[in-house]
Amino acid sequence: MERFKEIFRSIGNLKLLGEIARSGGELSSIADLIDNFIDSPQMDQCLARFRALPGGAELMDSRYPPLNPQLESLEELPAGSLGHSYATMIRSLNYDADFFRPRPIESEAEWLTQRIATTHDIHHVVSGFGTARFGESGVLAITATQVGFPAYVLLNNAALMASFRLDIQNFEQFSAAISRGVSIGLEAAPLCVQRWEDHWDWPLSQWRQHLGLHNSVEAEPYGLKLAL
């Protein structure tokens, strides 16, 4: 039975990857892909890796709340702080800070899925990866490397394969961004266990030092091009 369940999950994933490719990364299809892994063996492995990180089990067991930022308050923080920089990015890109799909957080998999989804854009700010497709793949690579979050692993593998076969002129950029994300994932402290809300006022430089992110990627072609 489990074998057939995983076959059907794989078929669903392929269908969702096609929808994501055709739509140019439509968020609801990405959320569907993420949710398709919630009860999977891959998510079980991800949960085990997250629990093994320093502070991971405590966050999970307490159901530490998913991020719910108040942009107006963050904009009042000093320029260059994490909170001000995050709010600036959200406003500059005309993002909706509350676009995250509402999910229950009773199970460990549901909680981790929602926590990763709601903190994802902070990883862009802290790492310096842009929000276009190359930078997006770089940020996904950090979380994929540090805890093996299933949908992010699949999305990056699919992006590399599709680029190699159908978009070869951009393969180098995808490869470079993903490689940089993997490097950060291996060298830096785990981003997914950080309590960002406790230190919105820290300068980005302080956060990067705390995390061991000694070289952010803003200067790269796939870097975040905003005055934060």
Which residue would you say has higher pLDDT here, 194 or 99? Answer: 194
pLDDT of residue 67: 80
Q: Which domain holds residue 57?
A: 2-68+105-193+206-211
Q: Quick check: 89 and 125 in contact, CB under 8 A?
A: yes
**Closest of 216, 211, 175 to residue 194, by C-alpha:** 211
Burial 84-115 (b: 16+ CB within 10 A, else e): bbbbbbbeeeeeebeebeebebeebbbbbbbb
Residue 54 lies in a domain: yes
How much is the pTM? 0.91
In a domain, 226, yes or no: no
Which tokens hold the place of 179? 């490689």
**133 domain residue, yes or no:** yes
Closest listed residue to residue 121, CA positions, set 133, 134, 139: 139
Q: What is the number of structural domains in the chain?
A: 1
Q: Is residue 219 part of a domain?
A: no
Q: What is the pLDDT of residues 187-206, one digit of tens each?
A: 999 999 999 999 999 999 99
Is the pLDDT reported for residue 33 higher than 90? Answer: no
Q: Is residue 79 part of a domain?
A: no
Is residue 170 domain-resident?
Answer: yes
The answer to whether residue 70 scores a pLDDT higher than 70 is yes
Average pLDDT over residues 131-143: 95
The reply to whether 221 falls in a domain is no
Write out pLDDT tens, residues 215-227.
779 999 999 987 7
Q: Domain for residue 95, yes or no?
A: no
What's the one-letter identity of residue 198? Answer: D
Does the pLDDT value for residue 123 go beyond 70?
yes
Which residue from 100, 92, 96, 91 is spatially nearest to 120, judged by alpha carbons? 100
195 vs 67: CA distance, rounded Å: 10
pLDDT of residue 8: 60
